[in-house]
Amino acid sequence: MVQGITGKEGSFHTSMMLKYGTKVVAGVSPGKGGSQVNGVPVYDTVQEATKEHEIDASIIFVPAKFASDAVYEAVDAGVKLIVVITEHIPVVEVAKFVRYAKVRGSRVIGPNCPGLVVPGESLLGILPSKYFKKGSIGIVSRSGTLTYEVSHLVGDIGQSTVIGIGGDPIVGTSLQDVVIEFDSDEHTEAIVIIGEIGGTMEEKVAQMKRDGKIRKSIVGYIAGLTAPKEKRMGHAGAVVYMGMGTFESKVESFKRANIPVANTPYEIRDILTKIIRK
Amino acid sequence: MKLYEYEGKRLFSYVGIPTPNGQVVREPVKVQGKVVVKAQLLEGGRGKRGLVRVTEDSYTTISELMREGVSIFLIEEFVPHSREIYLSAMMDRETGNPMIIASPQGGINIEESKEVKIFTIPLDRKLMRYDVDAVEKYVGVRGLEPMLEGLLRLVLEYDAELAEINPVAVTEKGPLALDSKVILDDNALYRHEDLLKQFQREKSQSDSYVELDGDVGIIGNGAGLTMATMDLVKLMGGNPADFLDVGGGADTEKVTSAIMRVGSNQKVKKIVINIFGGITRCDEVAKGILNAYTKIGKPIYVRLTGTNEEEGKKMLQSHGIKVYEDALAAIGDALRS
């Protein structure tokens, strides 16, 4: 289901997702019920859509002011996976809807994320599909464009699943969550983490690896070596406050957990090749 | 959006955080007795730069500081105190809950301090008395409830990304906020139009430009890719002059103004542009580059790939601008030139 399907982004990416083979069965746009977008029926409310169709995931393209409302609506209708593409949602609102969804058993990915793709199968997001190829690497990233770049660079090995979790300070699905999923996913042979300054999710993953909770090999990359402290680098998440989440602390924790760290995105491929050949 | 100290203290007064008596002035004034004159700037480190002065002659002090280019001042009563502590509140990124950060030592460089403790206050409930007890016990100061309550309200009701009191002065009459540092969530400013109006501040567009010390201008799309480009320049022996993320779906105009902004920095000798088009279309980017190229007259090294890259490349090449497939090659050539 696509919430905000009649908007410019919503309708464009619906067509891209359909082209990729994603089963988009319904769209929601208040006041536009009864119309169609790319052959997909549009409903006024999520509840109307879920009554007519079996919906296991929703993707949200609703503008920031109304995006929280859309998330609550999806959770209340029992949608289990909600991908929030929308950027610029106030952080306190995000914290609240993430909590609400979790308590009711729904998973939120994002906000401010590019979504996810299972190459050759399904695309739930805005990722440009031509850079993905079916393969064995699980990629999880906090940055959109860097996800495309790295997927492109490891293109000959291919990816099992690629997930952009979003760069906001608070996100519904963390690096840890995705790494755990990859660890038990039979199609994933090795995991690539594309991190950046701010927050401590990378450190948490490193700790899990040290504790033996993750069995598969991980390759890490952290953007922000040259980022000055207390300056926001682009989106809201990439800022170091109170010394938490510096480039150094992330790289250090990866190294302590024996997770190889690529100095540049270009090194990721070489490291992966060595790991996979083992 | 970063607030000035006096703006932050205005918010403090709204949420019940006690502050010293003071007034904001934009010209030299005479005030009786011992006062503190504080230059109102958005950057930190004022104390180290001599921009916070204790004086009995406010008129002369302000006149001096005005000659140094400061235009807004906060004059406050001098507050004798025995101790200083640190308190702040922000959202905890890991748990999605608000948290209070406390240290029994204030005024210090909190990032390097070992004595710092985090108290998480779950989003589902309000601040409880036992939370207050725990913080008070840790820092060894009583009477902090109004401050803790106020800091949390700033985060939850006023959408502060960071609400910090450093230092809190421990006085005979109770704790007092000597300084304020409040950063509002840019994304929530639309909910606080009244404050913007009151402070006569424009809604700052979440600015994606950060100036650095080097001489290589950096433009990219997406924060991650742009940071990675800066890092590559550094690793390959150069020095980035800035971070500028044109964002997703940047059009011709946005690219042109980005290049003009970076190029007009005197220190910038050359510019590296790294674009991986997803939503962003390479032909739009190329048009933007061509518009700005002749005006800035500095060499530009462009890595352009992704959506509509063929059109984009052709446009640049026909004007003699070399286009690279690979960011490493583009940066390498830029650094060697």
Report the number of secondary-structure helices (H) and strands (E) in chain A.
9, 14
- Name residue B172's amino acid: E
Taking residues B263-282, report their average pLDDT.
93
Taking residues B2-31, report their average pLDDT.
97
Q: CB–CB of A242 and B110 under 8 A? A: yes
Residue B114: pLDDT over 90: no
Number of domains in chain B: 3
B148 and B71, same domain (yes or no): no
* pLDDT for the residue numbered B202: 82
Per the CB < 8 A criterion, the answer to whether B300 and B264 are in contact is no
DSSP state of B4: P
CATH code for the domain in which residue B296 is found = 3.40.50.261
Q: Which one is predicted more confidently, B314 or B248?
A: B314
Residue A242: pLDDT over 70: no
B40 and B154, same domain (yes or no): no
Cα distance between residue A87 and residue A155, in whole Å = 28
Cα distance between residue A208 and residue A230, in whole Å = 28
The answer to whether A169 contacts chain B (CB < 8 Å) is yes
B159 and B263, same domain (yes or no): no
Residue that terminates a domain, selected from B77, B93, B110: B77
Cα distance between residue A83 and residue A276, in whole Å = 31
Cα angle value B92/B98/B100 (rounded, 5°): 90
* pLDDT for the residue numbered A245: 86
* pLDDT for the residue numbered B43: 80
Measured between beta carbons, the chain A residues lying within 8 angstroms of B90 are 241
B214 and B332, same domain (yes or no): yes
B67 and B99, same domain (yes or no): no
Cα angle value B300/B302/B307 (rounded, 5°): 145
B195 in a structural domain: no
ipTM summary value: 0.89
Least CB–CB distance from A224: residue in B159, B220, B227: B227
B143 and B234, same domain (yes or no): no
Residue A278: pLDDT over 80: no
- Catalytic residue selected from B4, B6, B86, B301: B86
Cα distance between residue A193 and residue A179, in whole Å = 8
B31 and B93, same domain (yes or no): no
B173 in a structural domain: yes
What residues contact B49, with CB distance under 8 A and at least 6 apart? none
Residue A86: pLDDT over 80: yes
- Name residue A9's amino acid: E
In degrees and rounded to multiples of 5, residue B261 shows phi and psi of -65, -50
Write down the mean pLDDT value for chain A. 94
B258 and B237, same domain (yes or no): yes
* pLDDT for the residue numbered A148: 93
Number of Cβ within 10 Å of residue A108's Cβ equals: 25
CATH code for the domain in which residue B114 is found = 3.30.470.20
Residue located via tokens 């402290």: A229
Residue A236: pLDDT over 70: no
Give the chain A residue whose CA is nearest to the CA of B154.
Answer: A92
A187 catalytically annotated = no
Helix or strand run (H / E) with residue B232: helix B223-235
From chain A residues 31-70, the ones with a CB under 8 A of any chain B CB are 64-65
State the residue range of the domain holding B49: 21-77
Closest among A159, A201, A192 to A259, alpha carbons compared? A192
Residue located via tokens 């996100």: A171
Cα distance between residue A54 and residue A86, in whole Å = 24
* pLDDT for the residue numbered B206: 55
The answer to whether B245 contacts chain A (CB < 8 Å) is yes
B193 in a structural domain: no
Closest among A50, A150, A146, A157 to A106, alpha carbons compared? A50
Cα distance between residue B87 and residue B109, in whole Å = 13
From chain B residues 149-188, the ones with a CB under 8 A of any chain A CB are 155-156, 159, 161-162, 185-188
| Secondary structure of residue A83 in the 3-state scheme | strand
| Chain centroid to CA B324 | 34
Residue located via tokens 């399907």: A5
B139 and B228, same domain (yes or no): no
Least CB–CB distance from A234: residue in B226, B276, B278: B226
Residue A88: pLDDT over 70: yes
Say how many CA atoms lie within 13 Å of A94 toward its Cβ. 37
Q: Label the pairing between strands A27-28 and B270-277.
A: unpaired
B202 in a structural domain: no
- Name residue A46's amino acid: V
Q: Which one is predicted more confidently, B80 or A232?
A: B80
Radius of gyration of chain A (CA): 19
Least CB–CB distance from B159: residue in A90, A143, A147: A90
Retrieve residue A263's tokens. 């100095």
B6 in a structural domain: no
Retrieve residue B108's tokens. 């210090």
Residue that terminates a domain, selected from B186, B221, B249: B186
B9 in a structural domain: no
Length of chain A in residues, anyone? Answer: 278
* pLDDT for the residue numbered B173: 92
Instruction: Give percent of chain B above pLDDT 90.
Output: 84
Per the CB < 8 A criterion, the answer to whether B270 and B337 are in contact is yes
What pLDDT digit, counting tens, does each position of B34-57 carry? 999 999 998 877 888 889 999 999
Cα distance between residue B233 and residue A256, in whole Å = 26
What residues contact B72, with CB distance under 8 A and at least 6 apart? B4, B6, B24, B25, B26, B39, B40
B90: β partners:
B99
Residue A237: pLDDT over 90: no
B275 and B246, same domain (yes or no): yes
Taking residues B183-199, report their average pLDDT.
94
B284 in a structural domain: yes
| Burial grade of B68 (CB within 10 A; 0-12, 13-18, 19 or more) | exposed
In degrees and rounded to multiples of 5, residue B232 shows phi and psi of -60, -45
Write down the mean pLDDT value for chain B. 93
* pLDDT for the residue numbered B204: 63
